Amino acid sequence: MAILLLDSSLCVNCLKRVLGLPQSTISRHLAMMRRGGLVKVRRDSTHCYYTFDKEGHLGQLKKKLIHAYYENLKEEEPFRNDRKRLEKEESGCDADCRMGIKSKG
């Protein structure tokens, strides 16, 4: 999930549709990732948007590790299909999500 949030700002509903997991599972994982300093949250009146925390504690190290992980696994399953579903979600989200990961084909 952290890789999908690397260059994106996504609501729980987008992550739920992309990953095919229940909302409670997504929220629980995001809460753990937020407590661990991997993601940060931005709230508006109706949605919460999650993104990878590049500035927080050890931000540059986390960013480099996630980028290395992404580069090595971006064409592996199930991540490749997650990225494709994220691209499709861009037009279907009714919130102010910003998708950042684009596949090569």
Strand, helix or coil at 36? coil
Q: 7 lies in a domain?
A: no
- Does residue 36 lie in a domain region? yes
Whole-angstrom distance, CA of residue 102 vs CA of residue 70? 12
Return the CA Rg of the chain. 13
Asked, for residue 23, whether it belongs to a domain, the answer is yes
Instruction: Report the domain count for the chain.
Output: 1
39 located within any domain? yes
In a domain, 94, yes or no: no
Q: Which domain holds residue 49?
A: 12-88
Q: For residue 28, how many other CB atoms are within 10 A of its CB? A: 12
What is the chain's pLDDT, residue by residue, as a tens digit (105 residues)?
877 888 889 999 889 988 999 999 999 999 999 998 889 999 988 889 999 888 866 777 887 888 888 888 878 887 788 878 887 776 667 777 887 754 443
Q: How many CB atoms lie within 10 A of CB 100?
A: 15
Which CATH number do you get for residue 49? 1.10.10
Is 63 inside a domain boundary? yes
Q: Residue 66: what pLDDT?
A: 80
Residue 26, in any domain of the structure: yes
- This model's pTM is above 0.85: no
